């Protein structure tokens, strides 16, 4: 499941490569044919995200809403403005990029390259398709697999596969969706937004580990950030929200503001602070070096040595340290 930082980064790619241009919209799979007909040859005027949902406004006040869900992803191809983390995923954005970003010794593959246009080809799930695509210079590439919607300009192509939601909305319908979502600090990091989060937490008897995954409480947090934020705050995930103090809830909000910005800027869910030089590059490349508890079940806690626990909470895996998180 892609977490909030990924969808904000997808929105940035559409801002850099599509906004201000007329877009050819098709549905190679056929399941979005009616929606594609509404949007086809309209100008894309803006693109932004709230939590895990992407919103794109086309001329005539038509909106495209996409929720990637568990399996959805965008594939970008053509001459696109990319960065090292997108290059490491071969143009695939959406499914959580846990494999990391490797930086070469000369620094060519660096975050300083953000915004530099480069030729990029799509990465497909099946290896034979991937090889075929690498051997062709055709643009746009032939759709491969179940492409729900294709957005195409003269230089850039974006293909969407496997979303939970992909629909055309009116402004009123967009507002209705937004009203059901909790605050997202990339859209609003004000004290008012933070207070909305704090109020939603401290009045409920629901465990804080569930509240952080509730998109109506706070938008964008997923399994990785949930585990890491609670560890960083030394909070037991089973503690009811009403037993989380206001100061603790504010601490969680401020940490989310901080970690989400790192995720948007680097493309990785970096949750261990203070890494520099080779240690930072190693953490960018390897998940095990950038997280405190996530996917570390059975291993000693990096702070106290207690074995990290793996539980199940509402059908999602929960990683935590029973000694550090009290």
Nearest 10 degrees: Cα torsion 184, 190, 196, 201: 70
Last residue of a domain, one of 156, 177, 198: 177
CA atoms within 13 A on the CB side of 207: 14
Tally of residues, the chain: 326
- Measured CA to CA, the distance from residue 186 to residue 258 in angstroms comes to 10
Question: Residue 41: which CATH number?
Answer: 3.20.190.10
Q: Are residues 103 and 70 in the same domain?
A: yes
Last residue of a domain, one of 177, 200, 234: 177
Which sequence positions are flagged as catalytic?
2-3, 52, 316
Is the pLDDT at 87 greater than 70? The verdict is no
- Measured CA to CA, the distance from residue 68 to residue 74 in angstroms comes to 9
State the sign of the Cα–Cα–Cα–Cα dihedral 250, 251, 254, 256. negative
Give the residue carrying structure tokens 């990637």.
Answer: 68
pLDDT digits (tens, 9 = 90+) for 180-201: 999 999 999 999 999 999 999 9
Question: Residue 188: which CATH number?
Answer: 1.10.8.50
What contacts 276, CB < 8 A, 6 or more positions away?
none
Q: What is the pTM of this model?
A: 0.86
- Measured CA to CA, the distance from residue 210 to residue 208 in angstroms comes to 5
In the chain, the largest separation of any two C-alpha atoms, in whole Å, equals 59
Q: Taking residues 297-317, report their average pLDDT.
A: 96
pLDDT cut 70: percent of the chain above it: 83
Task: Determine the structural domain holding residue 210 and report its residue range.
Answer: 183-320
Q: Taking residues 271-283, report their average pLDDT.
A: 93
The helix/strand/coil state of 51 is: coil
């Amino acid at each position: 499941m892609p977490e909030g930082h990924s969808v904000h980064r997808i929105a940035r790619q559409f801002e850099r490569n599509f906004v201000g241009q007329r877009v050819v919209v098709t549905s190679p799979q056929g399941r979005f044919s009616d929606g594609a007909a509404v949007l086809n040859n309209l100008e894309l005027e803006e693109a932004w995200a709230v939590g895990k949902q992407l919103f794109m406004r086309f001329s005539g006040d038509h909106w495209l809403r996409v929720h990637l869900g568990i399996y959805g992803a965008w594939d970008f191809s053509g001459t696109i403005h990319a960065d090292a983390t997108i290059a490491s995923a071969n143009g695939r954005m959406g499914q959580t990029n846990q494999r990391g970003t490797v930086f070469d010794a000369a620094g060519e593959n660096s975050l300083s390259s953000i915004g530099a246009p480069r030729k990029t080809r799509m990465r497909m799930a099946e290896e034979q398709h991937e090889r075929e695509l690498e051997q062709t210079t055709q643009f746009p590439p032939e759709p491969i697999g179940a492409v729900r919607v294709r957005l195409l300009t003269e230089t850039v192509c974006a293909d969407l596969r496997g979303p939970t939601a992909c629909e055309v909305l009116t402004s009123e319908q967009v507002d209705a969706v937004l009203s059901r979502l909790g605050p997202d600090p990339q859209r609003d990091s004000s004290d008012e937004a933070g207070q909305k989060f704090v109020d939603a937490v401290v009045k409920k008897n629901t465990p804080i580990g569930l509240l952080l995954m509730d998109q109506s409480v706070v938008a964008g947090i997923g399994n990785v950030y949930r585990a890491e934020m609670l560890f960083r705050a030394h909070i037991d995930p089973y503690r009811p929200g009403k037993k989380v103090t206001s100061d603790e809830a504010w601490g969680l909000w401020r940490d989310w503001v901080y970690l989400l910005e790192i995720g948007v800027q680097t493309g990785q869910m970096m949750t261990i602070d203070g890494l520099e030089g080779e240690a930072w590059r190693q953490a960018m490349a390897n998940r095990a070096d950038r997280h405190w508890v996530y996917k570390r079940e059975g291993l000693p806690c990096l702070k106290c040595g207690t074995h990290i626990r793996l539980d199940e909470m509402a059908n999602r895996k929960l990683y935590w340290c029973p000694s550090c998180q009290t």
